[in-house]
Structure 1
Amino acid sequence: MLISDHLFRLMEYFHTGGPVMLPLLLVSLIMWLLIAHRALYLRRLGRRPMANPLAWEYIRANRRPAIGEGGAVGLLVTRFLDQRSGNPALDRSIIDELVLSLNRTLDRHLGFIGALAAVAPLLGLLGTVSGMMATFDIMAMFGTGNARGMASGISQALITTETGLIIAIPGLYMKNFLERRAQDLQRQLTGAGYYLRRHLQEAAC
């Protein structure tokens, strides 16, 4: 009974918000799916990071880490061993290319998440304008005597504004949070790349 009451109130809330509520719902759904995907991906790569000396030991022994071992640095080692050529100069280039490639994957979709979070209040503003226009139309036709019609337009304006902000504020927070996580991992990968590159060069001498 309690669940059905909440569901009815939610349906009434969306109905009162007018047609702008559907694109707001789609924006929110897509944004949170991307946030969940990115959060899980970054969490997996940030778990138990491999120390640079251990990464070099794996490469020197030509031994792959276990799946999921070592976080982002472990993934770098695995991919390098898959592409290793045996030529020291070419191997150093492969390390550089892998670091750049992995760094790009860490940033993927974060810009789109930010764009969706920025679009949400604009859609809310569109609903606000639509609701106020509907209110003014009722006032023009009936004056201030039709309080019910005026309340409907004002409710639409307020609900869409509120919904846009409810979507945007946590979305922007999560985008910034994920960006910080991605930057931490990028620093790890860049440091590991320099370390491994230096040791590959020393091993070739």
Structure 2
Amino acid sequence: MEVTCSKSDIKERLYQQFARIGKCLSSDKRLEIMDILSNGPKSVDSLATQTGMSVANVSRHLQILLEAKLVKFHKKGTFVIYNISDSSVTQFLSSLWNICEDRLADIKLIKDELEVQYEGVRNMSKNDLMLKMKQDSLVLIDLRPVEEYETSHIPGAISVPLEQLEVFLQTLNKDVELAAYCRGPFCSIASQAVNYIQEQGFRAYRIEEGVHEWNAYGSPVSAKATI
């Protein structure tokens, strides 16, 4: 039987395919887009607003991600809505963040800068949060956009996007204890929000874990089906 290709040729072509994903992830902006999409579907316009890029640039990055099958899209009326392709990509991103935090000292320095900026902000552990929610002694708020909350959220949390926080606090008595979370340990919005809540005279805590971390610990999340 005639052999048409060598084992080394097969291996070379195999690693070339693996490298397609590596090249796709070599852009910080594409990583940011994937991180945002891992929290819920977004239109190109929404991604442009959240990343500070032009619609044209976002579209180019999305095309590269599509070719690598890391994202998918569907049409909703006249809008094109993008989403992460499946849960395995989200899990891969979480693993990537963990490896980077473990191996790159600069990431710890950046997190330390955030803590210094909001040094009065107190964190609450997952176990303490679960206990207080079981006792119904704390209000947990999800600071992400409403569509992300509707896609998936920590059970018992209520949706209070950051831009609605001021009005929401006006409906509460000052003896209410609050905790807030956003998109996980690298998101500064939770620290910013808790700092503001404390300045308004409330007791408040930052929850470092986001929905993905919560799910990774084996705790269920509330979600509705998405396309």
Question: TM-score range with shorter-chain normalisation?
Answer: under 0.3
Question: With CA pairs under 8 Å and 6+ residues apart, which has the higher RCO, 1 or 2?
Answer: 1
Which one has the bigger helix percentage?
Answer: 1
Q: TM-score, normalized by length of structure 2? A: 0.21
Which has more radius of gyration?
Answer: 1
Q: TM-score, normalized by length of structure 1? A: 0.23
